Amino acid sequence: MCGIVGYTGTDTAKDILLAGLKRLEYRGYDSAGVALERTDPAGETHLDVIRRVGKVAGLESELDHVDDESTCGIGHTRWATHGRPSVANAHPHACCGGNIAVVHNGIIENFAELRDELTARGHVFGSETDTEVLAHLVEEAYAQTHELVAAVRKACERVVGAYGLAAVCADEPGVIAVARKDSPIVIGRGEHGSYVASDIIALIDATRDVVVLEDGQFARLAPEGITYTDAQGAPIEPEITHIDWDIDMAEKGGYPDFMLKEICEQPRVVRDTLVGRLAPSGELDIDELGLTFEELDLIDRVYVIACGTSYHAGLVAKNLIEGWARIPCEVEAASEFRYRNPIITPSTLVVAVSQSGETADTLAAIRDARIKGAKVFGITNVVGSPVARESDGVIYTKANKEIAVASTKSFIGQIVSLTLLAMLLGQVKGKLTTGQVRMLFRELGDTAAQIQYILDSQREAVHEAALACKDAPSALFVGRGMGAAISYEGALKLKEVSYLHAEAYAAGEMKHGPIALIDPGFPVIAVTTKSPVYDKVVSNLKECEARGAKIIALATEGDEDIKQIADHVIYIPAVRDAFSAITASVPLQLLARDVAVMRGCDVDQPRNLAKSVTVE
Ligand code: AGP
């Protein structure tokens, strides 16, 4: 999934495009490029397309040689889906005449047949990408419409798939045409012109009043203003949303990396996600629920569907939904769920968890579940995202923009939101009294201060543990119950940011095979917080210690016994076991981040990954 940006106005376009692309780099960094309009001494406008493999910084040095006169252009940062990272496959893609250029985020599913058709009509392709067909389709349509937005609309009629695209045309200087279907597009007017981007963060410096373009809508950006039309070309007045994020949230706020900044934002995320969720009556207030209590009371099966870290939030939710509401709950990898024939009835609730709200497998699983008659509830961090739009109800995790590829604050926001959902189901099913809900809600709120305490008091202990792991070839994470659920997340975090191989196991499973991996010095990271199964975890740890493992234990403050078997102990405040996933996740996030820093990895943009995965 890529990032696109566009600007037309009175300022130097290349500077604005570069600044926007840097903010969008979390979406993909295989290549970057711009198309800038240039007017020659004869008054003729031409398009200069400049592209580079790799990060935006590389493109920036390329643009140092380009003069500043252009005031209109489009830009792109890529995460390769069709065609390997190369200059030829980098966006923008131009048409045969070179007078039209397009940048695109999404996937053109029928690009092969369109390509054959266009080739048969004499078009010459220079890349392996799906996107290039758009440039040639717009070129053909423009020959008939002589108006860029109309040409883009016509081209989109031929396309099957997802697109957030922007196009420029040398014959229509200063105009940018924009279209959207299933990929995010935001548009805004600033003091010096009109802006478009895949994400608010790329234009927040210029304006805080944006239009989130809807599927099937089009826009014409010009220096003097913006007009919007629907799929038939009729004018429309989309809603303007005011964004109250501060720039700092967009920048690192003084932290060495976004991952650490976002880990340290988690106390706020807990508080913000709980704001206004408990009515004075003790009733939980989830107004975006989209389902009546009567409908909820009929629910007899829950599936949590998600990918990666969001899937691990589901593992936590399973314990709570079954524990508090006594409803059977399955946690499913969306990529599997969509292709197996799960048992779904109208009294099935499918909870789709997705930070980005645009993960392809999760979206497809939602659509499949809806067709089969399930009620769908979304938990996402992105307002107006496809997951939100395609669910009956939604809870927004108030994590704000998460920039580091490794999800941290959104994970905590997801667990808090799923905990609220489990409490609500327990309340509706009459398993939890209002008094119990009030008490649980209060304790859930207390986790914000407990996270802050861990951030303030355990950084040194985590650092020592990281030093103990950083040179190991591999590591194991173990726990039981809630501890098992977050061990999977601990292992994923370490893998994805430090490239150190790590696996997680329910501690009781170790002796059925994985313990064979342990030799002297092998790091075992164990979640041994006080819980009904604490003694069981400790005895499993003793089996590992007996084989010479280096034990790093996450323990409850005041637990001195654990020091007898652990080489390193990271303490977290005493908390109800149901909420331990929230607090115990934080040291695991910090551990992964510190090991990655020690191993010289790019903490915020790990290799081979992207922030949201909009392809299968
Ligand atoms: C987690 O750190 C990764 N970024 C990845 O596993 C992520 O959780 C997964 O791709 C799901 O993304 P989503 O929550 O945006 O759907």
Q: Which of 608, 612, 614 to mutate to test the pocket of ligand 1 (most atoms within 8 A of CB)?
A: 612
pLDDT at 504: 98
pLDDT digits (tens, 9 = 90+) for 113-159: 999 999 999 999 999 999 999 999 999 999 999 999 999 999 999 99
Contact 589, 408 (CB under 8 A): yes
Ligand 1 centroid distance, CA of 609 (Å): 10
- Kindly give the number of the ligand 1 atom that is closest to the alpha carbon of 307: 11
- Kindly give the number of the ligand 1 atom that is closest to the alpha carbon of 306: 16
pLDDT interval class at 80 (50, 70, 90):
confident
Atom 6 (ligand 1): residue with closest C-alpha? Answer: 308
Q: What is the mean pLDDT of residues 395-416?
A: 92
pLDDT interval class at 250 (50, 70, 90):
low
Ligand 1 centroid distance, CA of 312 (Å): 10
Ligand 1 centroid distance, CA of 589 (Å): 14
Cite the active site residues. 2, 611
Atom 2 (ligand 1): residue with closest C-alpha? Answer: 406
Ligand 1 centroid distance, CA of 466 (Å): 23
Q: Is the pLDDT of residue 245 over 80?
A: no
Atom 5 (ligand 1): residue with closest C-alpha? Answer: 308
> In whole angstroms, what is the distance from residue 62 CA to residue 33 CA?
10
Ligand 1 centroid distance, CA of 410 (Å): 9
- Kindly give the number of the ligand 1 atom that is closest to the alpha carbon of 309: 8
- Kindly give the number of the ligand 1 atom that is closest to the alpha carbon of 496: 2
Q: Cα–chain-centroid distance for residue 211? A: 21
Q: What is the mean pLDDT of residues 189-195?
A: 96
Ligand 1 centroid distance, CA of 10 (Å): 39
Q: Which of 307, 415, 608 to mutate to test the pocket of ligand 1 (most atoms within 8 A of CB)?
A: 307
Q: Please give the single-letter amino acid code of residue 492.
A: L
DSSP letter assigned to residue 182: B
pLDDT at 107: 84
Q: Of 401, 425, 450, whose CA–CA distance to 580 is shortest?
A: 450
> In whole angstroms, what is the distance from residue 154 CA to residue 131 CA?
16
pLDDT digits (tens, 9 = 90+) for 455-472: 999 999 999 999 999 999
In the structure encoding, which two tokens stand for residue 398, read together? 């108030």
Contact 543, 516 (CB under 8 A): no
> In whole angstroms, what is the distance from residue 409 CA to residue 470 CA?
24
Bridge partners of residue 393, in order along the sequence: 377
pLDDT interval class at 301 (50, 70, 90):
very high
Q: Which of 262, 305, 309 to mutate to test the pocket of ligand 1 (most atoms within 8 A of CB)?
A: 309
Ligand 1 centroid distance, CA of 462 (Å): 24
- Kindly give the number of the ligand 1 atom that is closest to the alpha carbon of 613: 10
- Binding-site residues, ligand 1, Cβ < 6 A: 307-310, 354-356, 359, 362, 405-407, 496, 612-613
Q: What is the mean pLDDT of residues 498-504?
A: 97
Q: Which of 1, 312, 613 to mutate to test the pocket of ligand 1 (most atoms within 8 A of CB)?
A: 613
Average pLDDT, the chain: 93
pLDDT digits (tens, 9 = 90+) for 361-402: 999 999 999 999 999 999 998 877 889 989 998 988 988 888
pLDDT digits (tens, 9 = 90+) for 503-561: 999 999 999 999 999 999 999 999 999 999 999 999 999 999 999 999 999 999 999 99
The mean-pLDDT minimum among 285-299, 357-371, 581-595 falls in 285-299
In the structure encoding, which two tokens stand for residue 279, read together? 């009515």
Atom 9 (ligand 1): residue with closest C-alpha? Answer: 308
What is the pTM (predicted TM-score) of this model? 0.75
E strand or H helix at 478: strand 474-479
- Kindly give the number of the ligand 1 atom that is closest to the alpha carbon of 410: 14
Q: Of 271, 552, 534, whose CA–CA distance to 400 is shortest?
A: 271
pLDDT at 229: 97
Atom 3 (ligand 1): residue with closest C-alpha? Answer: 406
In the structure encoding, which two tokens stand for residue 191, read together? 């003091």
pLDDT at 248: 62
pLDDT at 135: 97
